[in-house]
Amino acid sequence: MKHTVLPGFRLTMGFTLFYLCLIVLLPLLTLPARSATMTWEAFWQTITDPRVVASYRLSIGASLAAASINAVFGLIVAWVLVRYTFPGRRIVDSLVDLPFALPTAVAGITLTAIYAPNGWMGRLLEPYGLKVAFTRLGITIALVFIGLPFVVRTLQPVIEDLDPEVEEAATSLGATRLGVLTRIIVPYLFPAWLTGFALSFARAVGEYGSVVFISGNMPMQTEIAPLLIITKLEQYDYPGATAIALVMLLLSFTLLLAINLLQGWTTRRLMN
């Protein structure tokens, strides 16, 4: 540690570590500790149970679909908010954070009301044979809602940082607007775009509140992994719940690591 005139390192660091261990690390460590008491066979049997595998597949598949939708529309929204002016832009900009601020249970029952067969959107879609509520499509829509701000908010500062002089230079050298877009803008935005996608995906995989109402919760069909954990807990099947949760926790940590690497990449890109 370098010498500094500022005081309080021991005190603040001590409290930070103590609080972190007490609130986060100690509780989280009970999960692997608890599953260590299971035999490997029992653990494997739990996580390869067809119902469990189906829930993982659904959670990951729907989250990938939702993150992809957010990647496409989030890019458009971020671009429009930074580059174009139109009436109400600032209000729209503030509204993008709504999914962070609105409790997930409220989002869940509201989306269900909108997409139920007698809801505003459900009524419009039903004649086309499109059922949303209580299907996988409904789950995806709920996940799009809660992941929406991530892509927009990671891209916005990067688009703002995009130096117009680079575009000017390319244009004056004869590049078309499309050429500038594909050769300069897209490669420049790519790391941040991928980060936004990963954040949106990571959030969606663990999501519970906004999904349970719209999903219908049919085992093998529309049962997400977090819901299966709750079901096992309610049946006092703690080992079963622990095993499913541990797999999800490993997935989350892998994603967190990937996101950190991606953010490092984005920062290095911006520095150069």
Residues 164-223 that bind other proteins (CB under 8 A): 164, 167-168, 171, 177, 199, 202-203, 205-209, 213
Is residue 170 exposed (0-12), middle (13-18) or buried (19+ Cβ within 10 Å)? middle
CB closer to other proteins, 135 vs 241? 241
Asked if 262 interacts with other proteins (CB under 8 A), we say no
Taking the least distance from each CB to other proteins, the nearer of 82 and 135 is 82
Please give the structure tokens belonging to residue 167: 């575009």
99 token code pair: 């999914």
Contacts of 188 (CB under 8 A, 6+ apart): 158, 162, 269
Confirm or reject binding of residue 120 to other proteins (CB under 8 A). yes
Residue 184 is classified by DSSP as I
Q: Is 26 a binder of other proteins (CB under 8 A)?
A: yes
Q: Which is nearer to other proteins, 7 or 50 (CB)?
A: 7
Number of residues located near other proteins, criterion CB under 8 A: 102
Which residues neighbour 34 within 8 Å (Cβ) at sequence distance 6 or greater?
Answer: 238, 239, 242
- Cβ 86 to other proteins, closest distance in Å? 6
Least separation in angstroms between CB 167 and other proteins: 6
- Map the footprint of other proteins across residues 59-118, applying CB under 8 A: 73, 76-77, 79-86, 90, 92, 94-107, 109-111, 113-114
30-37: list long-range contacts, CB under 8 Å, 24+ apart. 31/242, 31/245, 31/246, 31/249, 32/246, 34/238, 34/239, 34/242, 35/239, 35/242, 35/243, 35/246, 37/239
Stretch that binds other proteins, among 50-58, 122-130, 132-140, 225-233 (CB under 8 A): 225-233
Subset of 30-49 contacting other proteins (CB under 8 A): 30-31, 33-34
Helix axes 136-161, 238-271, angle to 10 degrees: 20
For the window 131-170, what string marks contact with other proteins as x by the rule CB under 8 A? -------------xx--xxx--xx-xx--xx--x--xx--
Quote the least distance from Cβ 23 to other proteins, whole Å: 6
Residues 232-261, interacting with other proteins (CB under 8 A): 233, 236, 238, 241-242, 245, 248-249, 252-253, 255-256, 259-260
Q: What whole-number distance in Å separates Cα of residue 42 and Cα of residue 138?
A: 34
In the chain, the amino acid numbered 205 is V
Report d(CA 233, CA 240) in Å as an integer. 8
Of 19, 183, 187, 218, the one binding other proteins by CB under 8 A: 19
Task: Work out whether 121 is an interface residue with other proteins (CB under 8 A).
Answer: yes
